[in-house]
Amino acid sequence: MDKWVYELIVEKIPPFSFLKGRHVTTFQLLLMLFVGIGISLYYHLPFRSLIMGSLTILVVVIWSRLTLIIAPTIRAFRPSLSEEENGIIEWYRELLFSKKRPELFAGLAIFIPLITYLYFNPYLIHYYLGDNLVVIAFAMVLAWDVAYRAGIGLWVYALCLIRSFRLFEASKRRKGLEHTLLNDLKAMERMDRRGVVYALTALLLFPVLSPDKHLTIFVILYSLSIMTFSMLSISLIRRVPWLPPDIAELLEKAKFAYVGHEGEDFPHITPVVQVFNGRNVYFVTSKASKKFKLLKKNNRIAVLIDERDPRDFFGNKAVLIVGKARYYELHNFLPNILKLTKVRNLFMEKYSQYISTYGKRKEELPEAWRLTPILKRIPVEVEPEWVVYWRGARRIRIGL
């Protein structure tokens, strides 16, 4: 799989090739600032040119750093356990890192119109640079750096949206144990969130281009485009189930689960009601319960959900999810209110009769059982670290 031109420069050309990770972009920032400040002082440019040039260099460096994070993330995706979804991921990677250099063409698609516009509307050049050809040449190199990285952002996040849409549609056609690995779905979501940073970084160019209203409008539209692509992609990728249909169906139908904790003096196991939102398992516990006291000390737990067939032992199913529990109290309830509202609706739909009965007989219940959300009983989210599935006599480890 090929690499982007900027990655090859960083890997092959000294002194960048001697540096690692964020040191590369730190050195790039210092080098470009040193050259920019030197040119500004030597040719006696206005102070505004120094400030706005430095701001432009900062944009280039932030985008460079994001590029060096995004590219390895995409190449690290593992083969999906769904043939169709794996084909989508491979298509996505091959298109992004094609030897035809699509990111260069994306950069040129921004750079050429920009240079053409500045040729016929040179006010911005004269405002910052005057008529000195050396200064203008340096500014054109900087303009290419901006356009190239802006092109990468547009290319990457437009494809991210297409990728997420295709994966979401393909996930509806899964069979058996087909699925895309959870950690790869999380990596896709993290990458999409960086698109928001990419978009906000573009707005740093707003004061630089503000003397020209047309270029200012372009920057705003560019930022909105990346933001829209990223947010839509996040929304879709979160809706892609990470579990195979067999297990997801078991989690959605099963009324009870068993939560296990290593305990203090001996293991602690309790039954709970649970819901599954396509990504994580949720249950509710009392703040007065032993379970909650244990979770506050150690949030690592196991959740077992099974389906029993007393007439045919080979018809039994069970899934064991081991992971970290996250409980929601007042301090973290509001930031997650949209997610928790959806979880509440899942509980209401799945256990409507149970919740209705408890509501009517609230005064008869022990203190620990009273359904007073957040104050008395709190939702707990289980983020899986590893999963084992039993179907009949067969034990299957589910990759994450």
**pLDDT, tens digit, for every residue of 350-373?**
887 776 666 666 665 555 555 555
204 phi-psi bin (left φ>0, alpha ψ -120 to 50, beta other): alpha
At residue 375, does pLDDT exceed 80?
A: no
DSSP conformation letters of 24-38:
HHHHHHHHHHHHHHH
At residue 208, does pLDDT exceed 90?
A: yes
CA dihedral 89→90→92→96, nearest 10 degrees, is 140
At residue 20, does pLDDT exceed 90?
A: no
What mean pLDDT is predicted for residues 137-161? 94
At residue 396, does pLDDT exceed 90?
A: no
| Strand segments (E) across the chain | 256-261, 268-276, 281-286, 300-307, 317-327, 377-391, 394-398
Q: What is the pLDDT of residue 261?
A: 93
Q: What is the pLDDT of residue 317?
A: 87
Domain 245-398 has CATH 3.80.10.10: no
What mean pLDDT is predicted for residues 222-230? 97
Residues of the chain with pLDDT > 70, as a percent, come to: 93
Please, where in the chain does CATH 2.30.110.10 lie? 245-398
Inter-residue contact 211 to 127 (CB < 8 Å):
yes
What mean pLDDT is predicted for residues 214-241? 95
Inter-residue contact 114 to 16 (CB < 8 Å):
no
Q: Which of 36, 214, 212 is nearest to 127 (CA)?
A: 212
pLDDT averaged over every residue in the chain:
88
Q: In this predicted structure, which of 17-21, 149-153, 198-202 has the lowest mean pLDDT?
A: 17-21
| pLDDT tens track for 146-157 | 999 999 999 999
What mean pLDDT is predicted for residues 99-111? 92
- SS3 of the chain: helix, strand, coil, percent, to 5: 60, 15, 20
- Residue 199: pLDDT band with limits 50, 70, 90: very high
The helix/strand/coil state of 281 is: strand
